[in-house]
Amino acid sequence: MTDIQTAAQLPPIDDAAPQGAKRRHAGAQRPARPPRVPVHGVLLLDKPVGLSSNDALVRAKRMLNAPKAGHTGTLDPFATGLLPLCFGEATKFSQDLLEADKTYEAVVHLGITTDTGDTEGQVTAQQPVQCTVEQIEQVLAQFRGPISQVPPMHSALKRDGRPLYEYARAGITLEREARDVTIHHLELLAFAPPMLSIRVTCSKGTYIRVLGEDIGAALGCGAHLNALRRTGAGSLTLQGAVTLEQLEQAGEVADRRALLLPVDGLLQSFAAVHLTDELARRFLQGQRLALGKESVALPPEPGRVRVYRASDLALLGTALLQPYDVLAPERLVSTA
């Protein structure tokens, strides 16, 4: 009786088709994923709140059907704003933007400190806010120019191969050396107690969370970062930036790719050098070029330059213009 009941509970077997064939047939019904086609350029993404930079990159990469991509500087999940994404050959120049100055607009919540220095952490202390605009301006003046910052424990900096935030989550606090950074511009935008709005342009490696905490400490009430929006990176701004929703709504992959800046969108701060076809050929072979006697217009000072082929304005890469008008190839574009 038990055997009959057990057999009756089994799903029916279709003897006309072997089980392996049925599985193959079921798999064949799935739509084939289109092959990834190389795409080269820069997407100015306006990252939303609540999404990590890597998650934003993965979504954009999928919507553009791109095989190779990278971003140019992490934004915390609670932060929004400019996140330049590099695709294809543009990834060769992403380091330039990592080294560039950044501009942010931040809201500092005075009177409350958290264990992470931002709104995602647990409150650790509360104090009354009793400061004036004049006192705030005096404190902000202390942070303009070269300053030292102690990196936060809740950061991606590594110690013994592990990011600091892993130690912090385990309740471990490690000693961290102060780092020198530069605050090029620090402006008070608004003060509506307990919220303090500022605009900051700073060098690579600056933690705006730490800046907010240090401003609060200098005011005697403590603080944490309530909101953060990046508005500039190097020469790039939010002008022309798109959201993930706008990218998705652009339509087909070709229409989405039309939203990308060309590869040299990352290099506009460098002077341009245009080479003849023969010089361009030698440059792409990695040869150093002595241009002193060539009919090539050169910038007045040595330094990094972006290099083009004059006949079709194709970007060839970047180079170092050295003394005596010697052009030394640095990073070359394989699609030139």
CB proximity list for 272: less than 8 A, separation 6 or greater: 305, 306, 307, 308
CB proximity list for 129: less than 8 A, separation 6 or greater: 110, 111, 193, 194, 219, 221
Burial (CB < 10 A; 0-12, 13-18, 19+), residue 259, is middle
| Selection from 267, 268, 237 nearest residue 46 by Cα | 237
φ and ψ at 180, to 5 degrees?
A: -85, 125
Per the residue annotation, which of 3, 55, 76, 325 is the catalytic one? 76
How far is C-alpha 306 from the chain's CA centre?
Answer: 22
Is 202 in contact with 188 (CB distance < 8 Å)? no
Catalytic annotation on 101?
Answer: no
φ and ψ at 204, to 5 degrees?
A: -55, 140
Which active-site residues does the annotation give? 76
